[in-house]
Amino acid sequence: VHGAFVDASGWQAVHDILSAKGYEVLAVQNPTVTLKGDVEATRQVIARAKKPVVLVGHSYGGAVITEAGDLPKVQSLVYLAAYAPQAGESVFDIATAPTPGEDKAPLLPPSNNFLLCDLEKFPTSFAADVDPKTARFMA
């Protein structure tokens, strides 16, 4: 399950490696408008799975798998550099109050209930290992 400000295409390399080894791999394409909507989209993909599910969430995707992972078909949850909010805590709360020594996430103040990333900081914060031209396009 991808994080915020990106889409499921970021999982292509992992998908290809695991699929080549015979695993059923389903990438979730979340709308990233609301957590509730992303959880529902993830649950729809879980329902399509033919085998027990290992849910992997990256970044914001950790919050999604925490909520969606309570289905009987889900065998385990894997948090890959992901947020795991406690009850009543949001990803925004965690990202804007980092652990001492960590950088604050490059988020702009919410606008009309939407959370936006500072586009100037996207390449270094979200795509540090991507070539600069591609990272700017992704932003």
**pLDDT, tens digit, 9 for 90 and up, residues 34-92:** 889 999 999 999 999 999 999 999 989 999 999 999 999 999 999 998 988 888 888 87
CB–CB of 6/33 below 8 Å?
A: no
The residue ranking higher by pLDDT, 29 or 116, is 29
Q: What b/e readout covers 43-76, taking b as 16+ CB neighbours within 10 angstroms?
A: bebbeebeeebebbbbbbbbbbbbebbeeeebee
- What value does the mean pLDDT take over residues 100-114? 77
Confidence at 26, pLDDT banded by 50, 70, 90: very high
